[in-house]
Structure 1
Amino acid sequence: MALLGSIVMPAAMAWTDKPVKMLVPAPAGGNIDVIARLVADQLSADIGQPVVVENRPGAGGAIGVQALRAAPADGQTVMMIASNVLTEIPHVLKGGFDPLKDVKPVGIVGRGNLVMIAAPNVPAKDFKGFVAYAKKNPGNLGFASYSPGTISHYAGMILNQKAGLDLQHVPFQGSPPALAQVMGGQIPVMFDGFATSRNLISTGKVQAYAVAAKTRLSQLPDVPTLAELGFPDLEFSNWMGVIVASGVPAEVQEKIHKAIRQVALNPKFRGRMFATGFEGAEDWNIQQLNQSVKTEFDRNAAIVKQFNIQLNQ
């Protein structure tokens, strides 16, 4: 699949002559919020209307989604999300909405990738060395995750299975507290989003063993993919993009898609997004984007079932 290139769409892609509200199902200052404000700035310039970001955090994104669904289905209210709100969280947290029916993804602007990192005091200096180290210490080492039932959790469980390890899962509520434990050497390893761990990697506060992506990251060119290392099942990432309520007419969805695509292709926006630790995304149309959500949703459902990851009521 082709990645977003340098083609610039024609200007004046506006689907509206009124201000647009962009909901964010996360607190101010987090990754989704930062990307939302970058998108809002560029989108406002492109369509000639204010794009107002409104944070609606809580319940794994469900509060924001319910606000989106409650708004008039006219395309004036959209939501910036990370795809895990649709493909991961519903498997472990009841949100009161169907991610495959109640909302529709209409645009993708970037992709966040998962990186396997280790504490600075772990003696192994690469992935193969860590596997050997872990096999010598069965049941005595742990892996942190930034929340139960997320790809950070899934990746550790699959690593255990595929590499024959016995790492104990230590869940946290968010990446920062998990990273603090890894940096401090209390927990040896973690799968974390590159956007939150990149500064720690660059300053040597954690070690980067591998990336759980199809290809090496442009910002970590010397760090191999897990597929290269013999673990193709360890490929996890989340896209950042825009969704609307499913009741928004198809022709309006398509206009929003074109406007979001123009933002994603904009060199200034891409540079600002890259600086936050995100990579370019696939140039998907609406149909491909919806299919990707279904594919990831089904894959994660199978992982949750396989490892008996419990639903948090």
Structure 2
Amino acid sequence: MNIWSKKLAAAVCLSAVPFSAVMAQGGYPNQAIRLLVGYSPGGSVDIVAREYAQHLGQLLKQSVVVENRGGASGTIAAQAVASAPADGYTLFFTASPTVTITPALQKTNFDPIKDFQPVATVVSYTNVLLVNAASPYKDIQSLVTAAKANPGKLTYGSAGVGASNHLSGELFEQNAGIELTHVPYKGNAPAQSDLIADRITMLFDLNTTAKNLVESGRVRALAVTSGERNAMFKDVPTMVQAGYPKFIFDGWLGILAPAGTSAEVVKALSDANAKILANNAFRERMQASGYTIVDSSPKQVGERIASEGEQFRDLAERANLRQD
């Protein structure tokens, strides 16, 4: 056999090797991975993404570069990933509202089901119902009683229309049968300031930022929106425990890839995710920041996006929140 025949035979043999076997030999990744984040540097999602990228890079023995594409509630980054090559080198580190709440409220340039391949969840977070420390409301029952006696007079702040704390307020109204007045702000910080100044009645704040406010004694926590009590607020009941069994809202951060990404690449990333979430240093860092570790399979992530998207579409229709 001459040299050209040998090369041809070798090429034929290589083409017959399954992609998973090529990956096992180091075929993926063989270049840097871009991890797109839909928010600005220094924010809560960005901080988690950068910690995650460091661990992912160490496991895959390749650079994982965080790229911030902030704006439009994360949809700019989402669109960039949806239109990227499905080769595993462009991934989306997303907060769940971008793919569950935002598409329920307005038209987007991506389909959260058709345009993404789910990979994994990383952590979850909850919202905490806060009132001013001088507020007469000591529990959910007293707050609901006052709201029913004064329809529309009690107010709740949010980080803006469509934010998770806005939707939490809408869920509260519908589950408790009350009428509140929504006061949207340009972010959580000004809403927190007005709650502390007693200019608004309540705020569903992220548990990751609510802790310091509660510990400072400036606000009081009445309930959390997660299905189970949050480790940072062990003495605070859930909305379910307060008497509203259908009121559960858990936000999450996770990884999505462009639709069409191969099963082998998804498995490699999902396996790496499981190892990251089992890493004690990563777990301790996340838990100290108020997050709960949540490892879901690609199938479970897809099912969660679909079910939560349907929930928020129904909520948007009932509350007449759809903007287009």
TM-score, length of structure 2 as denominator length: 0.87
Distance 1:13 1:230 in 2: 53
Distance 1:76 1:89 in 2: 25
State the match for 1:293 in structure 2. 305
User: What does residue range 211-250 of structure 1 map to in structure 2 within 5 Å?
Assistant: 211-250=224-263
Which of 270, 273, 276 is residue 283 of structure 2 equivalent to?
Answer: 270
Distance 1:245 1:175 in 2: 31
Are 1:78 and 2:91 an aligned pair?
Answer: yes
8 Å contact from structure 1 (residues 216, 223) kept in 2: yes
Which of 172, 183, 187 is residue 159 of structure 1 equivalent to?
Answer: 172
Distance 2:161 2:155 in 1: 14
Amino acid aligned to 2:193: A
- Paired residues in the alignment total 300
* Structure 1: runs of 5 or more not aligned: 1-11
State the match for 2:38 in structure 1. 25
Q: CA 1:179–1:14 in 2, change beyond 3 Å: closer, same or farther?
A: farther
8 Å contact from structure 1 (residues 13, 47) kept in 2: no
Are 1:119 and 2:158 an aligned pair?
Answer: no
What secondary structure sits across from 2:292 in the alignment?
coil
Are 1:256 and 2:269 an aligned pair?
Answer: yes
8 Å contact from structure 2 (residues 154, 180) kept in 1: yes
8 Å contact from structure 1 (residues 13, 46) kept in 2: no
Kindly provide the CA deviation profile for residues 91-126 of structure 1, in whole angstroms up to 9, marking residues without a partner as x: 223321101110122011100111111122311222
8 Å contact from structure 1 (residues 25, 55) kept in 2: yes
Distance 1:216 1:15 in 2: 40
User: What does residue range 1-313 of structure 1 map to in structure 2 within 5 Å?
Assistant: 15-281=28-294, 283-311=295-323
Report deviation, 1:13. Answer: 9.9
Report deviation, 1:39. Answer: 0.2
What secondary structure sits across from 2:109 in the alignment?
coil
What secondary structure sits across from 1:219 in the alignment?
helix
8 Å contact from structure 2 (residues 82, 110) kept in 1: no
User: Which stretch of the first structure deviates more once superposed, 82-91 or 155-164?
Assistant: 155-164
What secondary structure sits across from 2:275 in the alignment?
helix
Higher-RCO chain (CA-CA 8 Å, sequence separation at least 6) = 1
Distance 2:27 2:313 in 1: 37
State the match for 1:6 in structure 2. none
Kindly provide the CA deviation profile for residues 153-187 of structure 1, in whole angstroms up to 9, marking residues without a partner as x: 22222322332322211112321121111111100
Task: From the two aligned structures, give the one with the greater helix fraction.
Answer: 2
8 Å contact from structure 1 (residues 59, 95) kept in 2: no
8 Å contact from structure 2 (residues 175, 247) kept in 1: no
Amino acid aligned to 2:203: M
Q: CA 1:249–1:230 in 2, change beyond 3 Å: closer, same or farther?
A: same
Q: CA 1:13–1:215 in 2, change beyond 3 Å: closer, same or farther?
A: farther
Report deviation, 1:83. Answer: 1.1
What secondary structure sits across from 2:78 in the alignment?
helix
Distance 2:64 2:92 in 1: 11
Distance 2:151 2:60 in 1: 57
8 Å contact from structure 2 (residues 158, 191) kept in 1: yes
8 Å contact from structure 1 (residues 13, 258) kept in 2: no
8 Å contact from structure 1 (residues 15, 256) kept in 2: no
Q: CA 1:13–1:196 in 2, change beyond 3 Å: closer, same or farther?
A: farther
Give me the CA root mean square deviation. Answer: 1.8
